Amino acid sequence: MTSAATPATTLNSSRTESTDTTVEPVKGIRASVLLLICACVIVVAAILGVAVGSHYIEISRVLSALSRPDLTDPDHVIIWNSRIPRLALGIAVGAALAVAGVLMQTVTRNPLADAGLLGINAGASASVVVGIAYFGVASTQATVWWALFGAGFAAIVVYALGTTRGRAATPVRMALAGAAFAMAVGAVTSILLINNETTFLKFRYWVVGTLQGRQFDVTLSVAPFIVVGLMLGLGLIRSLDVLALGDETAKGLGARVGLTRAIAALAVIVLAGAATAAAGPIGFVGLMSAHIVRIIVGPTHARMVPCAIVVGIALVLAADVAGRVILAPSEVQTGISLAIIGAPVFILVVRRGGLG
């Protein structure tokens, strides 16, 4: 016999449906508000980023340079040859690292996943330094390929370390494996830089993560890789939502779990490798972006990925401006500024998630 639904069951079902239909519009509103706030931050940071530095340029002159460029004006030359390229690279790097963070956290189910924390950035930077010091790598395009190789190698090694002896890759174990790998290759990178004066002079700031001194050719060289990585990430949106339900459930719903993980891993390697090749090993952007958007707009990737792009850009540009203002006329590198902000966020995530 089929039992009839009780009034209590019917009432509970009605409440659940009512809650679901109420929550979705609320999350949509939250996403819109988040995008608006980040857009305002990006605009303000972009204007300040073009104005501030070792030589301050008044906002009125910045607007004049943007609307009516005059390359005989020294301020206009600084803006177009130095600060606009720096701004463009910040946008590219912020978007790349943010999406890489979302993909890593979803695919590994690790709330601590970040290209910096898991050693991927360190692997990419070490590979670039080796290529320049011993293989004569000179072009930015070649640097990107070396960075991609290093990022892929780092991902494989860290995953292997985190799953030794058949143990599950828990968040803390992966974070520890990433930290150990990053310290090891960081030491190798430092030794190579110290013993090669040419490489040291060229990359002494790059190794801590910086947007300083980058021209348009750097951004143009990494842009195709970042665009491909972003397209792969956006193309996985539906598959990531299913994968977040668990492997067995995802397989039951017809998802190709292995293929989804492989494409996501490729996207992470391309995004993190390209960003590192251009700006050095900048960490915590993926960690912070992913958690901010997940808290505000929920776990649906159709909202998470686009919002993470905007949040990542806002974080990188704001940190870059802050680094130029804090110790003006000296400068704190972007990677250091983000580490100062990101370290407390990392600790908070560990404590709130009971991961320690």
Domain boundaries in the chain?
30-352
Helices (H), the chain: 7-51, 59-67, 74-78, 84-108, 120-135, 140-162, 171-194, 197-203, 216-235, 237-243, 247-252, 257-279, 285-297, 301-326, 334-352
Enter the CATH code of domain 30-352. Answer: 1.10.3470.10
**Number of neighbouring beta carbons within 10 Å of residue 311:** 30
pLDDT given for residue 19 in this prediction: 44
pLDDT given for residue 167 in this prediction: 65
Residuewise pLDDT in 10s, the chain (356 residues): 444 554 444 444 444 444 445 556 666 788 888 889 999 999 999 999 999 888 888 988 888 888 888 888 888 899 999 899 999 999 999 999 999 999 988 888 878 788 888 889 889 989 988 888 888 887 888 888 999 999 999 988 888 887 776 666 666 778 788 888 988 998 888 888 888 777 777 777 777 788 888 888 889 999 999 999 999 999 999 888 888 777 777 777 777 878 888 898 899 999 999 999 899 889 889 989 999 998 888 888 889 999 999 999 999 999 999 988 887 778 888 888 898 888 888 777 767 754 54
Cα 295 from chain centroid (whole Å): 17
pLDDT given for residue 208 in this prediction: 79
Tokens of 117: 């924390």
Tokens of 4: 């009839």
**Number of neighbouring beta carbons within 10 Å of residue 322:** 18
Integer Cα distance of 98 and 311 in angstroms: 8
pLDDT given for residue 158 in this prediction: 87
**Number of neighbouring beta carbons within 10 Å of residue 114:** 30
pLDDT given for residue 14 in this prediction: 44
Beta-carbon-side half-sphere exposure of residue 81 (alpha carbons within 13 Å): 9
Burial of 2 (0-12, 13-18, 19+ CB in 10 A): exposed
Q: Is 166 left (phi over 0), alpha (psi -120 to 50) or beta?
A: left
